[in-house]
A and B are shown apart, each in its own frame.
Chain A
Amino acid sequence: MKEKNSQGSHVSRRRFMKSAAGAGAVFAQALAAPRVHAASDAVVRIGNINSYTGGLAYAGENNLNGMNLYFDSIGWTVAGRKIELIKEDDQFNPQIGLQKAKKLIESDKADLIIGIQASNVALAVLNYMKQQKAFYVVSGAGTDAITWDRYPYLFRTSISAYQLSMPMAHYVYDNLGKEIVISAADYAGGRDVAAEFKGPYIARGGKVLKEIWTPLGTQDFSAYLTDIKSINPPVTYNFMPGADYIRFIQQYTEFGLKEKMQFTGFTAIDSQTVTALGKVAIGVMSAVTYTDTVDNPESKEFAASFKARYKYAPDLFAEYGYVGAKALGEALKMTGGDASDKDKLAEAMSKIEFNAPRGPFRMDPATHNPIQNVYIAQVIASGDGISTKIIHTAQNVQDPGKKIY
């Protein structure tokens, strides 16, 4: 499938033209003076893979917009080197993601790959990256297993399933109900999110009445919702990626479940919830690392410049992209723009620490997953539309980096 001319890709194309012109100039120089080795002028080639079509297309686009916002802010140069972003679409399909990773590393000679929102794609690409000993920054996918085997050149700048599910499990047990039904999409991400909720919830004394697995791309959830209604738990925990989630929440509301059992979820509050569901989303509660109502100066500045540039409010996927690009940018600054020495770059990435829009962000050198705040947020009515309210904050949550549940 061809890439579309969204706002985001427009910019990257313009950037591409610029950097292509730049590369042309370097080439011409090299012809004129063949003995001068322009290593310090070399372009940092960043490969980007996201789902730009399919159910997670909006997440991919937000992620890219966040990255572009950061690279714009540093003028697409780091330590005197030009940055070039080469964008590829995985179509939410592990096989295609793998092909695109091969293309980026082998024919485009990208120095590293950043992005990937879908857990199944992220895992498929990981094996290839290991074979190639290539540098890999995950700015989305939350599957736990990706950091378990400690691939030294892998860093995640978003979240792990554990990181969000554990605080949510504790909050639900303490405040909402001791019995629960868990529904999740039947793929790597869904299985992880459910397991990482179930473990801490049962450990605290809770009881899981039923786990429901819905196939990816389920259109009609009525059979599952009827099942949940017949079990009648006080609270439910639910996770499906992208468009599935919207349909699920919509039908959950339509079946009258929202008044009877509190809906809790995993990254359920994003730009799509706001645009697609609107008032239908009121009451939905979710663990997130970022909403545009996180109250700190970095968050306010990020939301303002994002809105000025793209004419809509940033969501957590946009923030994942921004923070991923910023972490990488800071690490490249430390190495003097050198992305070829992967050990040096990995060492720099391990030391990354800054105040992100989501709050304090610190890379955990042991697991290569960030240590960060997790928020339990709820969608509330606000004037004519909706807004989000943070009702609980879990400070500095750390991923264990291994299977514990």
Chain B
Amino acid sequence: MDLFVAQLLNGLVYGMLLFLMAAGLSLIFGLMNVVNLAHGSFFMLGAFIGYSIFRSTGSFWVAFVLAPIPVIALGVVMEVVFLRRLYRRGHMDQVLLTFGFTFVFLDLVQSVWGRSVLRLPVPAALQETVQIGWGVFSAYRLSLIAFGFAVAGLLWLLLERSRIGAMVRAGVDDAAMAAGLGANIPALFGGVFGLGVALAALGGVAAAPILGVYPGMDADILIPAFIVTVSAVWVACAARSRAAC
């Protein structure tokens, strides 16, 4: 039983990291119908930029808060300048473009930070360990679980209970009608894309103390995150039995 609880918590921690990635992916895929293979790159960039901020300020928390900002800027530029032109052209073109971007970002990271694994230490306040059954959990891992649930709650509130969320949902159902009613669809979708990127970058910084910071972490996290996204969509479709799925 002890072992069971310990392994359950282990699973939850990794699940939360995947959730942060998959939430961004499914925001972008589910709401905007865009397949973004460069999503893992934003995760990686978040981790590397977080590492650099940590090296210059010495604070994990500053890195955690600031690192997503340049990544969001990069993501929004990519959306406005490149991706936006491909919305009408189907998934295959989007896949080609965003897959190309994964190489660009990987080369960028390797030329700036090199090829070695780097490490972002766990913040001092969360270094203590908690014994649960056979497992020893760092406070950091436990707080990751809490963080994941908090993000899930906020996302739900934003999409289901706020005015902006209502406009986004309207835009997804019928962009022309929503635009006619006064919603600024390009800005709205740019914002959703930025939010997805922000989640990936935050996930990157949050994962860095556990998984390390290294070129190639983009692909390592993207594949399981995609599996999560696809199975989540499948489960949601099965539950609602919506024809649109």
Binding site for B on A (CB under 8 A): 1-2, 4-6, 52-55, 57-58, 61, 217, 219-220, 222-223, 226, 229-230, 242-243, 246-247, 250-251, 254-256, 271-272, 275-278, 280
Contact = CB atoms under 8 A, between A and B. Distances in A.
B119 A276 contact: yes
Given A5-B111, A226-B6, A256-B136, A246 B220 contact: no
B3 A230 contact: yes
Contact of A251 (B3, B114, B210): B210
Given A219-B211, A219-B221, A246 B117 contact: yes
A220 B211 contact: yes
B10 interface: yes
Interface in B117-171: 117-119, 122, 129, 134-136, 138, 141
A69 B136 CA distance: 46
B116 A223 contact: no
Contacts of A229: 134-136
Interface in B211-241: 211-212, 214-216, 220-221
A54 B116 CA distance: 10
B202 interface: no
Contacts of A272: 116-117
B119 A226 contact: no
B193 to A, nearest CB: 26
Contacts of A54: 216
B129 A220 contact: no
Given A219-B221, A254-B138, 17 more contacts: A57-B115, A58-B114, A58-B116, A220-B210, A223-B11, A226-B135, A230-B3, A246-B214, A247-B211, A250-B210, A250-B212, A254-B141, A255-B129, A256-B129, A272-B116, A276-B118, A276-B119
Nearest to A278: B119
B7 interface: yes
B107 interface: yes
Task: List the 6 shortest-distance A-B pairs measured between CB atoms, nearest first.
Answer: A222-B10, A57-B115, A276-B117, A220-B14, A230-B134, A58-B116
Best-surrounded residue of B10, B11, B103 (most CB of chain A within 10 A): B10
B13 interface: yes
Nearest to B216: A54
Given A219-B220, A229-B134, A229-B136, A250 B3 contact: no
A53 B134 CA distance: 37
A277 B122 CA distance: 12
Contact of B7 (A52, A223, A251): A223
A275 B116 contact: yes
B140 to A, nearest CB: 8
A295 B223 CA distance: 46
B107 A58 contact: no
A193 B198 CA distance: 42
A347 B122 CA distance: 54
Interface of B: 3, 6-7, 10-11, 13-14, 103, 106-107, 110-111, 114-119, 122, 129, 134-136, 138, 141, 210-212, 214-216, 220-221
Contact of B119 (A58, A242, A256, A277): A277
B14 A4 contact: no
Contacts of B115: 4, 6, 52-53, 57-58, 61
15 contacts: A53-B110, A54-B216, A55-B216, A57-B110, A219-B221, A220-B13, A226-B6, A226-B135, A229-B135, A243-B117, A243-B216, A246-B119, A247-B211, A276-B116, A278-B119
Nearest to B15: A220
B117 A58 contact: yes
A2 B100 CA distance: 12
B10 A220 contact: yes
B118 A226 contact: no
A90 B10 CA distance: 34
A275 B117 CA distance: 8
A53 B14 contact: no
Contacts of A275: 116-118
A219 B211 CA distance: 6
A242 B216 CA distance: 12
B134 A226 contact: yes
A385 to B, nearest CB: 14
A310 to B, nearest CB: 12
B14 A219 contact: yes
A2 B117 contact: no
Contacts of B141: 222, 254
Given A5-B111, A229-B134, A246 B14 contact: no
Given A223-B10, A229-B135, A4 B116 contact: no
B7 A226 contact: yes
Nearest to B118: A276
Contacts of A226: 3, 6-7, 10, 134-135
B26 to A, nearest CB: 20
A247 B168 CA distance: 39
Nearest to A92: B216
B220 A217 contact: yes
A254 B122 contact: yes
B151 to A, nearest CB: 19
